[in-house]
Amino acid sequence: MADSEKVENVVLGGGEPGKYMAWELAREGRQTVVIERGLIGGSCPNIACLPSKNVIRRAKVADLVRHVGTMGSGPGPWRPRWRACAGANARWSTG
């Protein structure tokens, strides 16, 4: 049988709420273990809120630039750089 250890608090899942709960418990000096099967931070910073806002923002900028001619300014040959967008998302999720 594997060695076992008693701990005061176990937080299951290291998503945003789990992460903050564990930080707060640890800050109070209470012994805490986080069990996370994937990425610390969970969905929001890694695959959901932040990366999607990056994609949406770039799409809005692309749309504005594409229609700049209808606003009285000269259009330029500009396209969104989706590879750079994916790179930024990857840097956020691993940083």
Ligand X SMILES: Cc1cc2nc3c(=O)[nH]c(=O)nc-3n(C[C@H](O)[C@H](O)[C@H](O)COP(=O)(O)OP(=O)(O)OC[C@H]3O[C@@H](n4cnc5c(N)ncnc54)[C@H](O)[C@@H]3O)c2cc1C
Work out which of 7, 26, 35, 59 binds ligand X, going by CB under 6 A: 35
d(CA 90, CA 78): 23
Work out which of 13, 21, 25, 93 binds ligand X, going by CB under 6 A: 13
Opening angle at CA 35, ends 29 and 38, nearest 5: 130
* Region binding ligand X by CB under 6 A among candidate stretches 31-39, 56-64, 66-74, 84-92: 31-39
- Type of residue at 5: E
- Residues lying near ligand X in the complex (CB under 6 A) are found at 12-17, 35-39, 42-44, 48-49, 52
